[in-house]
Amino acid sequence: MTFTRAKIVMAMTLAAGLGLTACSSNNDEKKQTTLTASAPATGEASTLSERNAQQRLVKTLEQHFKTAGIQAKITEVKTTEVPNLYWVSLEGMSAVYATSDGKYIFQGDVIRLGDKQLHNVGESLQAGTNKQIFASLKKQDLLIYKAKGETKHVIYVFTDVSCPYCHKLHEHMDELNSKGIEVRYIAWPRGEQFIPAMESVWCSQDRHAAFDQAIAGAELPAASCKTPVREHYQLGLNIGVNGTPAIYSADGVYLGGYLSPSELLKRLNN
């Protein structure tokens, strides 16, 4: 099969159109090393030979992208536990795997076999990036439902008022909060046509009441302020969100789509 330039670009710009996830014991790993495109790793983070290998990979990929007409900026390179396979973060796109010679890139899951539980090689690598992103978000840009009593867990949920499974999850908000779970909603409209409704929620003086109404099917007045909705949507694309709800722990670990309160708490405790 011959891949056209358009298909390569489509593969690199995420799986937003490949289907929705809703409306649809970690083993010890080898020490990871990281190289940012602007600041090469130093000291104990990597051996000199490894740093050189990563730098060569960045240069090779940049040249290949340029030759293919792919507009992609490399922001970070990490080693993986798989020999000669690297995790490459791209600005405005989800991460890709790349072979050490820079000739091949691909997206998807690389699974380690040998244990009773399957291990996703890229999960911890992406989680580290997600954790930094979530920590950088401004609370005033989120829709937060605080835990009742002691806060035992904080989760980040990409949500959309048009999504039935988001509605179903929201119906359990009191129970989630009672279990000590603080829910932080991030706006993620599943299509251009749903952006106005999400902007109306985020623009409302009482964002909680507006969200309750919108997710129940009510039509809200048009937004009249600047909102972070589109930025939230791009953020979701960057980390691989392709449907709602998409639930993450504060450590950046993807927990799943819709989960019952008991199942969600079980995953958080694990």
For the question of residue 225 being annotated catalytic, the response is no
Residue 84 neighbours by CB distance under 10 Å = 11
- Exactly one of 56, 112, 160, 251 is catalytic; name it: 160
DSSP for the chain, written as a single string: -PPPHHHHHHHHT-STTS--SS---PPP-PPP-EEESSS---GGGS-HHHHHHHHHHHHHHHHHHHHHT----EEEEEE-SSTTEEEEEETTS--EEEETTSS-EE-S--EE-SSSS-EETTHHHHHHHHHHHHHHS-GGGSEEEPPSSS--EEEEEEE-TT-HHHHHHHTTHHHHHHTTEEEEEEE--SSGGGHHHHHHHHHSSSHHHHHHHHHTTPPPPPP-S--SHHHHHHHHHHHT--SS-EEEETT--EEESS--HHHHHHHHH-
Tell me the C-alpha distance between 118 and 120, whole Å.
Answer: 7
- Exactly one of 5, 190, 230, 251 is catalytic; name it: 190
For the question of residue 160 being annotated catalytic, the response is yes
For the question of residue 23 being annotated catalytic, the response is no
Q: Both tokens of residue 121?
A: 């090689």
Q: Both tokens of residue 51?
A: 């740093």
- Exactly one of 28, 51, 141, 166 is catalytic; name it: 166
- Exactly one of 163, 203, 230, 267 is catalytic; name it: 163
Which residues participate in catalysis according to the annotation? 160, 163, 166, 190
